[in-house]
Copies of this chain bind each other. A is one copy, B any other.
């Protein structure tokens, strides 16, 4: 007997479906994707998907939560290796941009569908996504304690700003077929922008308005 929840063959099939969903959703978008597309790509029957997921929405949300959980666990490990807030921030940014290559499909789905789901599925709280933001918060808090970051830095705001900048640049990368720049270079640029700001050294002390 095959159990669907555990580690058995059922789990492997579930995983196949999730991977297929990422592929199809990232190519055509959630609303333009047919369950039958996903089923075909996963090599299962349409009905089989409903043995593992309640419905199409549930498939999308499971995908978000389960894949983001992996990403969060992974980045937490990497970030912990950095010493000091600046080093950790750098690692976080580099990791996010490298996800563009390692997990292109997942990132694409998140970029376009997460906002939709977040806004229109009233019951859905993107737990794992918020945890991802928490990783940024922790870095910023550390920096404040260390004295690296301004004491009056608004962390709730700043973490959104950091994520937003990363996300928008990642989006531009994904959308431009020509791949104008290298994600690693982009990461370095973004890091500098936040660490140093936009201004020259001279301006930094007088630029306040």
Chain A residues with CB under 8 Å of chain B are: 28-29, 31-32, 86-87, 89-90, 108, 111-112, 115-116, 118-120, 140, 143, 147-151, 153-154, 156-158, 160-169, 171-172, 174-175, 180-181, 186, 189-205, 207-209
Q: Which residues of B contact A204 (CB under 8 A)?
A: 196-197, 201, 204
Number of copies: 2
CA distance A15 to B204 in the complex (A): 46
The 8 A-B pairs of least Cβ separation, nearest first, read A164-B168, A197-B197, A161-B165, A164-B164, A31-B31, A164-B165, A112-B115, A157-B189
Q: Which residues of B contact A166 (CB under 8 A)?
A: 164
Q: Which residue in B149, B169, B189, B208 is a CB contact (below 8 Å) of A198? A: B149
The answer to whether A197 touches B200 (Cβ under 8 A) is no
CB-CB under 8 A for A203 and B148, given A115-B115, A143-B198: yes
The answer to whether B115 touches A111 (Cβ under 8 A) is yes
- Dominant secondary structure at the A interface: helix
CA distance A207 to B195 in the complex (A): 7
The answer to whether B175 touches A118 (Cβ under 8 A) is yes
CA distance A164 to B32 in the complex (A): 26
- Could you write out 9 A-B pairs with CB less than 8 Å apart? A89-B198, A140-B198, A149-B203, A156-B181, A157-B181, A161-B193, A163-B168, A195-B207, A197-B204
Q: Which of chain B's residues has its CB closest to A31's CB? A: B31
Q: Which residues of B contact A111 (CB under 8 A)?
A: 115
Q: Which residues of B contact A191 (CB under 8 A)?
A: 209
Q: Which residues of B contact A168 (CB under 8 A)?
A: 160-161, 163-165, 167-168
